[in-house]
Amino acid sequence: MIKTSDEKYLRAIYHLSEDKNNKVSLSELAYYLDLKPPTVLERVHVLQSEKWITYKKTDGIHLTKTGEKEALNVVRKHRIWETFLHKICKFSWSEVHELAEQLQNVNSEKLIDRIYDLSGTPKFDPHGDPIPDKSGKLPVSERRPLLNSVDGCKCVVLGVNEDSNEFLNYLTDLKIGLNEKLIVEKVFVFDGSMKIKYRNNESVILSPKVAEKIQVTCIKPNCPCKN
């Protein structure tokens, strides 16, 4: 059985190796976890001795098969809590993450199952990220960055690529949330910023930096947007 205190390590390693396919360094991990390298090194040795990860200075940190499965299970718990908090408890998008962090430590598969059912057995969490099933399989979606839209595209927000409070609060202010329908009125070619229409004909101009981080999927079939 895995220790609660190991779970955040596995989740962190999972996320880091997802992004930068595979090579996770000690200091990266330390930075991500907001801990100092010696602390992390110590734990990494333990995790290695427990066969959750492999680690060689030159090669970085990798999840083993077992480790990845365990990590996916933690990810599952985390995302189910996030979904529950957002959909059922009506927490805003930006409040959800920190709370889920705490709740994910609660140790009861049965509870997760119930919470999952209560939330309507979703395939994606409120950020639009896929929820692994119990065996660790991830559902696939058609998500792509809003940035890749063409003029006139009608799409729906599936999630975001960044978790910082600054970003999430910005979206909350604009009232761009999960499942929000957006119409791309115009893409300005010179810098890629775009005018978006949404809600009751409100509109806003989003910078390419923002548009890159909003994940959407087209509503109309055969929409010509790039993936």
Partner DNA sequence: TACTAAAATTAGGTATGCCTAACAATTAAT
Partner DNA sequence: ATTAATTGTTAGGCATACCTAATTTTAGTA
Binding site for DNA (CB under 7 A): 3, 5, 25-28, 34-39, 41-43, 57-58, 60
Partner from DNA, a copy of itself, none contacting 28, C-beta within 5 to 8 A by type: DNA
Q: 43 or 86: whose CB is closer to a copy of itself?
A: 86
| Residue 92: Cβ within 10 Å count | 14
Comparison of 8 and 195: residue with beta carbon closer to DNA: 8
Distance CA 106, CA 84 (A): 14
Please say which residue, 32 or 124, places its beta carbon nearer to DNA: 32
User: Residue 67's Cα: distance from chain center in Å?
Assistant: 19
**List of residues contacting a copy of itself (CB under 8 A):** 85, 88-91, 95, 99, 102-103, 105-108, 110-111, 114-115, 118
Q: Which does 161 bind (CB under 5 to 8 A by kind): a copy of itself, DNA, none?
A: none
Contacts of 150 (CB under 8 A, 6+ apart): 184, 187, 223, 224, 225
- Select the binding partner of residue 60 from DNA, a copy of itself, none (C-beta < 5 to 8 A, by kind): DNA
User: How far separated are the first and last CA of the chain, in Å rounded?
Assistant: 40
